[in-house]
Amino acid sequence: MDTGQGISMTPRIQFRGSPYDTMDTDRHCGTKTCQPPCPSNIISSAVEKWTRKMSLPLACQLCCRRLSQQARNARKRAMLDRMIRVDHAGEFGADRIYAGQIAVLGNTPVGPIIKEMQNQEKQHLEEFEKMLPEYRARPTVLLPIWNVAGFVLGAGSALLGKEGAMACTVAVETVIEDHYNSQIRELMEDDTEEHRPLIQKIKQFRDEEKDHLDTGLLHDAEKAPFYTGLTEVIKVGCRTAIWLSERI
Ligand SMILES: [Fe+2]
Ligand SMILES: [Fe+2]
């Protein structure tokens, strides 16, 4: 990768004087805090290369390979656990936001439009509820907080009028679209073929969230009072909720 300043930021690492030369460190171990070069990946690649180079007995090589494979599987499990947990939390929160908006604007002309978006969020939520046991992922312990916070955000924005509710939708869906895009990239970097069903599902949800964003813009989101400030504050809140739900 070229940084544009003539500095090459290659994800491959040179280990001078070591029994192994270069190793693939551009893959991510699944923890958000880890940035390439990934220490976990360095270790598993190093073990494999070292055993090959040293011509260790076959039994040792097989044992090391198995340990390395176990490390990779653990990394993958951690990545999927984190993804399913945060997506489940996000869809749960989105459902609660629309519930809050419907409580205020349900009997107005935009009521059916908001209801339609909420129905899609409920479908997304159902899908992730099925995926939790399938991927052996744990839901976030913060669900009771998102339950209340989502409803309050939805109702509070709707009290500013339909423009306020739509501005809230635009802010939330902008963050969610970015979030899903980054997950799609991460899954494709890991193994496109293995994660194909999950990638397709997330792509479908990402497109539907984009439709919600467009609906918000179409219904005068930008005419909401303090539109820029309001949407920026909501975006920061959503990103914080994502960060927390990935971890606890
Ligand atoms: Fe959704
Ligand atoms: Fe949505």
The ligand placed nearest to the CA atom of residue 213 is 2
pLDDT at residue 157 above 70?
A: yes
The ligand placed nearest to the CA atom of residue 214 is 2
As a whole number of angstroms, the distance between CA 201 and CA 129 comes to 13
Q: How many other CB atoms sit within 10 Å of the CB of residue 183?
A: 21
Q: Does the domain made of 82-247 have the CATH classification 1.20.910?
A: yes
More confident residue, 22 or 70: 70
As a whole number of angstroms, the distance between CA 37 and CA 40 comes to 9
In percent, the amount of the chain with pLDDT more than 70 equals: 81
Report the pLDDT value the prediction gives residue 206, as an integer from 0 to 100.
97
The ligand placed nearest to the CA atom of residue 209 is 2
Report the pLDDT value the prediction gives residue 69, as an integer from 0 to 100.
81
Residues 74 and 53: beta-carbon distance below 8 Å? no
Distance 97 CA to ligand 2 centre (A): 10
Structure tokens at 135: 């991927």
- For 206, residues 6+ apart whose C-beta sits below 8 A from its C-beta are 176, 177, 180, 181, 184
Distance 161 CA to ligand 1 centre (A): 23
Distance 217 CA to ligand 2 centre (A): 13
As a whole number of angstroms, the distance between CA 94 and CA 151 comes to 9
Report the pLDDT value the prediction gives residue 53, as an integer from 0 to 100.
72
Confidence band, pLDDT 50/70/90 cuts, at residue 40: low
HSE (side-chain half, CA atoms, 13 Å) at 47: 18
pLDDT at residue 29 above 90?
A: no
More confident residue, 39 or 239: 239
Q: How many other CB atoms sit within 10 Å of the CB of residue 191?
A: 12
The domain spans of the chain are 12-73, 82-247
Distance 147 CA to ligand 1 centre (A): 15
Residues 136 and 196: beta-carbon distance below 8 Å? no
Confidence band, pLDDT 50/70/90 cuts, at residue 200: very high
pLDDT at residue 9 above 70?
A: no
Distance 229 CA to ligand 2 centre (A): 21
Its pTM stands at: 0.76
Across 198-226, average pLDDT: 96
Q: Share the mean pLDDT of the chain.
A: 85
